[in-house]
Amino acid sequence: MRHPHTLGTHGKGSPVATIRDVAREAGVSIATVSRVFNDSSLVSEATVRNVREVASKLNYWPNGVARSLITSRTHALGVLLPDMYGEFFSDVIRGIDLAARQHGFHLLVSSSHADSEALTDALRSMSGRVDGMVVMAPDVDAPEAVRGFAVHCPVVLLNPGGEVEQCDTIAIANAEGASEMVRHLVGLGHQRIAFVRGPQKNLDSEQRLQGYRAALREAGLAPSPDLELQGDFTEPSGYEAAIELARRKDRPTAVFVANDHMAVGVLSGLLDSGLSVPNDMAVTGFDDIAMARYTSPPLTTVRVNTSLLGERAVELLLRARRSANPDVKQHELLPTSLAVRSSCGSRPRRGEDALRWRKNRTIPASID
Amino acid sequence: MRHPHTLGTHGKGSPVATIRDVAREAGVSIATVSRVFNDSSLVSEATVRNVREVASKLNYWPNGVARSLITSRTHALGVLLPDMYGEFFSDVIRGIDLAARQHGFHLLVSSSHADSEALTDALRSMSGRVDGMVVMAPDVDAPEAVRGFAVHCPVVLLNPGGEVEQCDTIAIANAEGASEMVRHLVGLGHQRIAFVRGPQKNLDSEQRLQGYRAALREAGLAPSPDLELQGDFTEPSGYEAAIELARRKDRPTAVFVANDHMAVGVLSGLLDSGLSVPNDMAVTGFDDIAMARYTSPPLTTVRVNTSLLGERAVELLLRARRSANPDVKQHELLPTSLAVRSSCGSRPRRGEDALRWRKNRTIPASID
DNA sequence: TCGACGGCTGTAAACGGTTACATCACGGTT
DNA sequence: AACCGTGATGTAACCGTTTACAGCCGTCGA
């Protein structure tokens, strides 16, 4: 169970001062020192000064682990992600970090949980080290792994992909966003709209596909397997899909790609096939990663406020304990919106995106 | 010192089973249970089975905090970053995460340390919770804050910006990389090369500036304040600098921008000023963020293997304890290389970048 | 028959804090 | 003078583990 590579004890250098050292040096009991460091009002002014002075001389600071053991508070939130690649996950983390910091919490991060077993391991190894956990595992059966864990420790599941009773959840409005995008394309006159899927078992991808199909049907267009290409959320897989599409005789006039990374690959693939976007084919993506504004042409996509996803997760976690009845679980849906740029052939909306900071400027401002 | 918003104890739901519960239920002592969970060879086959069974029935897993307290090992590494924005930092984290996971470590992350005091606070609050720390604080006097801390706990400082004795360090070859880029521009025939700086106190920016000046002098060109524009590493500040440059009568023929984010802004600014890149002005950046390949024209830049920076940091941390003499501190320099694309006017090198995966494919592709 | 030994298991002392409760000094009531 | 409340401090139990050490029991060699 133990891992072979471990660090030695702290004791290698000069040993860390403990509460006892401070107490001895200051001529008080350890309870008094503890009280000083907990801002207890019970300590006299003079004693506080004395203890603080001795403590800073000895370079003392209360040991967090010992504190946690007795208080059963860690001031840390666990974050379990499938991996660390791509802007999407770093945006989620940024949101989580932002909210956590506001409440004085650290983040205990662990990524790359390929299967359900790895996830369980990670959950267990964080056991007792955190006050709550944010779990995102779009590829595996997360609810299963989380079950039996959420009783001890508040958990919020990101994108659970179904009904979950055991814990709070936040889902991205994948189907709704995808439908909206398809309606937009239909509105522009497209009748043959292809879709490039993500990995087989990925829930986001699946939901986006469902939304795509639903909107087609709504518009009186029949979904067809011919129009649904397999991808895996990576840029190269988008490139391949584009090559495949370009070579068809009954080419679709638009392609909706299940995420922006693949959409970037699709743009390259169409370019290399000698097709022009959006004239020969409209291309749209999903996620609105930062890069989407810089492709040529700029990518029309479904905007997801990714960092908000992280923020909400933390809020839910913290609210879980404050609430009167922690047994009623919250289930949120994170709405999406359309980021219309030129890759779909429609005129970008005014004041869109990065262009915003180029207008109305007098002073240097920060990017939002 | 305590933060007002805290989570409740774990005990809200069903209380977590402890080692004592398992011991009682299994009819053995807590020592035996402990031995089972530490894979001790001293326990009989039958007892192991029994204990494991009872444990899984009770949903028991050893409490990490209690373990840490007695073993003084946390299996966690602290990560202190200035903030979470941008690809640069998320790449660093990815590298750290990668290496940490390989060695069975978690990451305790905390970001946004504006000043030296905030940094000290963060260091302290991680005190005892981690086996080592990676600290990156390009804007503040990190060595100062870290001093007196590195004695207890191994610390590696990223980009210290000077000689540091107290702890291991890894620096990016900022000056060298900047010089190389300037030499490249000079080699293309440029004589008037402007520079857009980062924030005043930022060490990376300062070192890149020094490298720029040194290379100019080497080439027999005099550095001039007129050619050095102030930016703050954000895209808008690059945009402004570009507007400023475009409007000059004795316009430089090339501009070297202290980071890629600003360079993206510079490209927009020049475009909006009616100048064409690289014909009217060559533009180059620093960092080689993912987006650099997708700007138009694709950005020539100094490539930094950012995630390697994080990986090396972890290696150093772990090696510190294995080494015979932990008192000798390591100081590494992370080399850079040129990523030549078209924004500088020279022909991109063969097999460059993303294009790589388009080659050696069965599918018709290549553009060059 | 006895002692030594080896394989398992239990007892209890840490680890570094927090906190309920006991204690104590002191000034003000009665 | 006895009593009491109050504010400052000390004592000790406790949090959930690990691990040194002691103990027990059966086996084996002398």
Residues A77-99, mean pLDDT to the nearest whole number: 86
% of chain A beyond a pLDDT of 70 = 88
Burial track A283-310 (b if 16+ CB lie within 10 A, e otherwise): bbbbbbbbbbbbbebbbbbbbbbbbbbb
Residue A112 pLDDT exceeds 60: yes
Mention every residue, 6+ apart, whose C-beta is less than 8 A from residue A192: A227, A250, A251, A252, A253, A254
pLDDT tens per residue across span B232-259: 999 899 999 999 999 999 999 999 999 9
Question: Please, which pLDDT band fits residue B361 given cuts at 50, 70 and 90?
Answer: very low
pLDDT tens profile A14-25:
678 999 999 999
Nearest Cβ partner of B61 from A71, A124, A271?
A124
CA A267 to the chain's CA centroid: 26
CB contact under 8 A, A5 and B318: yes
What would the mean pLDDT of A337-356 be, rounded to a whole number? Answer: 70
Average confidence (pLDDT) over A310-328: 81
User: Amino acid identity of A130?
Assistant: V
Q: What tens digit of pLDDT does each residue of B53-62 get? A: 999 999 999 9
pLDDT confidence tier of residue A140, bands split at 50, 70 and 90 = low
Q: What angle (nearest 5°) sits at the alpha carbon of residue B58, between those of residues B54 and B62?
A: 90
Pairwise CA distance, residues A220 & A211, whole Å: 14
Q: Which residues pair with A171 in a beta bridge?
A: A333
Number of Cβ within a 10 Å radius of residue B34: 17
Residue A8 has pLDDT above 50, yes or no: no
**Who's near B62: CB < 8 A, 6+ residues apart?**
A127, B19, B34, B37
Contact A309, A323 (CB under 8 A): no
Check whether A348 has a pLDDT greater than 60.
no
Q: Quick one: average pLDDT of A146-167?
A: 81
> Rounded to an integer, what distance in angstroms lies between the CA atom of residue B44 and that of residue B260?
61
Average pLDDT over residues A87-94: 85
Q: Residue B2: what pLDDT?
A: 35
State how far the Cα of A106 lies from the Cα of A123, in Å rounded to an integer. 17
The spacing between the Cα labelled CA in A254 and the C1' in C1, in angstroms, equals: 97
Give the distance, in angstroms, between residue B34 CA and nucleotide D29 C1': 36
- A228-229: strand order across its sheet: A228-229, A193-196, A254-257, A282-287, A300-304, A336-339
The spacing between the Cα labelled CA in B35 and the C1' in D22, in angstroms, equals 17
CB contact under 8 A, B124 and A61: yes
Q: Inter-chain contact B73–A11, Cβ cutoff 8 Å?
A: no
Q: Decide if B359 touches A, using CB distance below 8 A.
A: no
From the CA of B29 to the C1' of D28: give the distance in Å.
30
> Which tokens hold the place of B57?
């029935």
Residues 66-105 of B with CB under 7 A from strand D: 66-67, 69-71
Examine the pLDDT at B367 and tell me if it is beyond 70: no
pLDDT at B352 over 50: no
Separation of first and last alpha carbons in chain A: 45
From the CA of A216, how many Å to the nearest CA of chain B? Answer: 31
Percent residues over pLDDT 90 in chain A:
60
Q: How far apart are CA B165 and CA B259, in angstroms?
A: 29
Which residues in range 27-46 of chain B are in contact with strand D, contact meaning CB within 7 A of any of its atoms?
30-31, 34-35, 37-38
Interval A57-62 mean pLDDT: 93
Average pLDDT, chain A: 85
Predicted confidence band at A350 (pLDDT cuts at 50, 70, 90)?
Answer: very low
CA distances in angstroms from A219 to A186, A226, A251, A337, listed in the order given:
8, 18, 20, 20
pLDDT of residue A269: 93
Average pLDDT over residues B174-195: 97
Find out whether A123 and A144 touch, Cβ atoms under 8 Å.
no
To the nearest whole Å, the CA of B327 is away from the closest chain A CA by: 9
The DSSP H or E segment spanning A106 is: strand A106-110
Scanning A204-263 for CB atoms below 8 A from B yields: 235-236, 239-240, 243
Residue nearest C19, CA–C1′ metric: A31
Higher pLDDT, B213 or B144: B213
Strands B76-80 and B132-136 come out as parallel
- Measured in angstroms, what separates residue A21's CA from nucleotide D10's C1'? 16
- In the A/B pair of chains, how many CB contacts fall below 8 A? 235
Tell if the CB–CB gap between B236 and A357 is shorter than 8 Å.
Answer: yes
- Mutation site for B-interface testing, chosen from A1, A5, A6, A7 by largest number of B Cβ within 10 Å: A7
Nucleotide nearest to B70 (CA to C1'): C15
From the list A63, A128, A358, the residue facing B64 with the nearest CB is: A128
Reported as a single tens digit per residue, the pLDDT across B110-167 is 887 777 788 888 888 888 899 999 998 776 677 777 877 777 788 999 988 777 777 8
A32-36, B94-98, B359-363, range with the lowest pLDDT: B359-363
Asked if the model's pLDDT at residue A305 lies above 60, the reply is yes
**A-interface mutation test, from B129, B233, B306, most A Cβ less than 10 A away:** B129
Q: Which residues of A, range 15-54, sit inside 8 Å of B by Cβ?
A: 16, 37-39
List CB contacts (< 8 A) between B125 and chain A.
64, 75, 106
C chain positions with any atom within 7 Å of a protein CB: 7-12, 14-20
Q: Which pLDDT band, with edges at 50, 70 and 90, does A111 fall under? A: confident
Contact B76 A108 (CB under 8 A): yes
CA-CA distance, B293 to B259, in Å (whole number)? Answer: 14
